[in-house]
């Protein structure tokens, strides 16, 4: 039994070596046929067209990717612009509320004890003409 077990791996080794040799011979034969076929003009034209098509398809993929990236950037910038516009509108409303005449008069009266002068307290100063001042 021991001798049979030893011989079997040797046989499979010989068979697998033969399969490898046959495979290599087939690959060499096919590669020769391919290289011989590439010498024909129409095959060269076809290969060139396949190469151009491949490069073109890669260019389309790269272009689409860049387009998506730029669109995402544009969307982000538009959102940022809209946020700034909202903030600007709120600041304008706040400025309008803080500079209202009624509020300014109330603050002047509360903080500085200022009052609106009565009619009797208003003094008009006449303008002097430029000729009379010399």
The predicted structure's pLDDT at residue 5: 47
pLDDT tens column, 22-69: 999 999 988 888 877 777 778 788 889 999 999 999 999 999 999 999
The Cα 44–Cα 96 span in angstroms is 77
Residues 6 or more apart in contact with residue 3 via CB below 8 angstroms: none
Confidence check: pLDDT of 70 > 60: yes
Mean pLDDT across the chain = 86
Phi-psi group of 122: left, alpha or beta (phi > 0 → left; psi -120 to 50 → alpha; rest → beta):
beta
The Cα 77–Cα 71 span in angstroms is 10
Q: Are 22 and 14 in contact (CB under 8 A)?
A: no
Q: Where are the domains of the chain?
A: 20-113
Residues 6 or more apart in contact with residue 116 via CB below 8 angstroms: 105
For the ranges 52-66, 68-82, 116-130, the lowest mean pLDDT is seen at: 116-130
Q: What is the pTM of this model?
A: 0.47
More confident residue, 9 or 120: 120
The Cα 6–Cα 13 span in angstroms is 11
DSSP 120: G
């Amino acid at each position: 039994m021991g001798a049979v077990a030893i011989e079997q791996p040797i046989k499979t080794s010989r068979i697998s070596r033969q399969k490898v040799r046959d495979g290599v011979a087939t690959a060499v034969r096919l590669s020769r046929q391919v290289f011989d076929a590439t010498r024909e003009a129409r095959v060269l034209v076809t290969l060139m067209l396949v190469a151009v098509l491949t490069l073109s398809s890669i260019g389309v993929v790269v272009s689409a990717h860049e387009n998506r990236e730029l669109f995402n950037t544009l969307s982000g910038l538009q959102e940022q612009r809209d946020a700034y516009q909202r903030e600007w509108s709120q600041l304008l409303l706040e400025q309008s509320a803080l500079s209202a005449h009624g509020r300014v008069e109330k603050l002047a009266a509360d903080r500085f004890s200022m009052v609106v002068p009565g009619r009797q307290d208003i003094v008009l100063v006449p303008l002097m003409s430029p000729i009379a001042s010399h």
